């Protein structure tokens, strides 16, 4: 495994399955040589990078990879189930699933400040992961889904690199980062070649604090469910319309605001749901996806009829700037 953090100029861009298979073979040999019979621990979020690292490590060391999937209650509908199905059932991973929903939502109760919410989620994630690591014996390495842009941004001082929840320093593991010299598009090609499902490989970006930043203000379980259900409907309709994988990022937000409406002939004082769909190259500036009128009507109809507590749907036409992608 290349221990250097510099991508050699001679390194060919991985654009085809054939090149990906060659990369996979090389990485498996390198991982085996480095890790031997030791165990590797990996925080598996279900994102592209950690999923590809997990699949590579499973091929290289099998059950000596211990994957930990923390459900903090802020994941999208079906996500924890998909991680368990793909990795435990299909790939035979040694996967520890941690249901930490009550723990996270309890700590977030009544917290309205967005940065405080982010901080609580990040800190707690590290705590839960470290607690789990402390229970395990014989772990020497930590797998990480670091990719090349993380290294470049970290070196340029743009952002401190800390992957999925960050490495708890007191754990003192050695790192295994098999995709650290790859760009995102290459990671996807490798993921496809490893046989991971498209919905994992071409997954849209999803923030670490998850749906927590799409439930503005203090998170309540009922409003969080409204975010999760409306997001699932939006994703389903985008998939049917052939927009999944084409639009950069799309999601719903349910602010803590109610308006008067009518349901079943009765006054319904309920939340509104905002739909956001944006395109970008670098996330510094974003344009709004021009959703077709008929599609937007279908999404509105489904969300207002299928999601309890929502009586209106709005489409956000704000580019970045002046808006940011997320609402918090
Ligand atoms: P903003 O809202 O800053 O979002 O325009 C730009 C991109 O970053 C994602 N995002 C986050 N990702 N932790 C993350 O891992 C965060 O706290 C966070 N906040 C925003 C956002 O989804 C978008 O892709």
Domain boundaries, the chain: 17-201, 210-315
pTM to 2 decimal places: 0.93
Is any atom of ligand 1 closer than 6 Å to the C-beta of 149?
A: no
Q: Which among 326, 327, 328 is the best mutation to test ligand 1's pocket, defined by most ligand atoms within 8 Å of the CB?
A: 326
CATH number of 210-315: 3.30.300.10
Tell me what the pLDDT averaged over the chain comes to: 94
Residue 319 has pLDDT above 50, yes or no: yes
| CATH architecture group of domain 17-201 | 3-Layer(aba) Sandwich (3.40)
- The whole-number pLDDT of residue 165 equals 44
Give which of 73, 200, 81 is closest to 145, Cα–Cα: 200
Mean pLDDT of 224-245: 97
Tokens found for residue 166 = 């960050």
Weakest-pLDDT range from 32-41, 95-104, 125-134, 162-171:
162-171
Is any atom of ligand 1 closer than 6 Å to the C-beta of 205?
A: yes
Residue 2 has pLDDT above 60, yes or no: no
Compute the Cα dihedral for 222, 227, 233, 239 and give only its sign: negative
Residue 168 has pLDDT above 80, yes or no: no
Bigger pLDDT: 210 or 245? 210
- The whole-number pLDDT of residue 167 equals 60
Residue 191 has pLDDT above 60, yes or no: yes
- The whole-number pLDDT of residue 207 equals 95
- The whole-number pLDDT of residue 154 equals 83
* Ligand 1 centroid to residue 139 C-alpha, Å: 32
Is any atom of ligand 1 closer than 6 Å to the C-beta of 18?
A: no
- The whole-number pLDDT of residue 153 equals 85
Is any atom of ligand 1 closer than 6 Å to the C-beta of 283?
A: yes
- The whole-number pLDDT of residue 164 equals 40
Mean pLDDT of 60-81: 98
């Amino acid at each position: 495994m290349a221990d250097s953090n510099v991508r050699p100029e001679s390194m060919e861009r991985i654009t085809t399955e054939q090149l990906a298979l060659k990369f996979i073979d090389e990485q498996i040999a390198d991982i085996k040589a480095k890790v031997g019979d030791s165990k590797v621990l990996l925080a598996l979020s279900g994102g592209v990078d950690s999923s590809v690292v997990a699949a590579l490590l499973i091929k290289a060391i099998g059950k000596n990879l211990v994957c930990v999937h923390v459900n903090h209650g802020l994941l999208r509908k079906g996500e924890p189930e998909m991680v368990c199905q793909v990795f435990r059932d299909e790939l035979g991973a040694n996967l520890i699933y941690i249901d930490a929903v009550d723990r996270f939502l309890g700590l977030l109760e009544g917290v309205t400040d967005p940065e405080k919410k982010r901080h609580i989620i990040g800190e707690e994630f590290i705590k839960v992961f470290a607690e789990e690591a402390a229970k395990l014996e014989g772990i020497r390495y930590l797998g990480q889904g670091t990719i090349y842009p993380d290294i470049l941004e970290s070196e340029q001082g743009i952002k401190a690199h800390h992957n999925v929840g960050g490495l708890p320093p007191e754990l003192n593991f050695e790192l295994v980062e098999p995709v650290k010299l790859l760009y995102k598009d290459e990671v996807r090609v490798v993921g496809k070649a490893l046989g991971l499902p498209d919905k994992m490989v071409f997954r849209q970006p999803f923030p670490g604090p998850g749906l927590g930043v799409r439930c503005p203000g203090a998170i309540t379980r009922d409003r969080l469910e409204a975010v999760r259900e409306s997001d699932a409907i939006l994703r389903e309709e985008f998939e049917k319309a052939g927009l999944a994988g084409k639009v950069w990022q799309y999601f719903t937000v349910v602010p803590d605001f109610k308006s008067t409406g009518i349901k079943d002939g009765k006054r319904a004082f309920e939340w509104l749901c905002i739909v956001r769909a944006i395109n970008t190259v670098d996330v510094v500036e974003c344009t709004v996806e021009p959703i077709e009128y008929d599609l937007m009507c279908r999404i509105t109809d489904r969300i207002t009829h299928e999601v309890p507590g929502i009586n209106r749907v709005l489409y956000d036409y704000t580019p970045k700037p002046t808006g940011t992608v997320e609402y918090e």
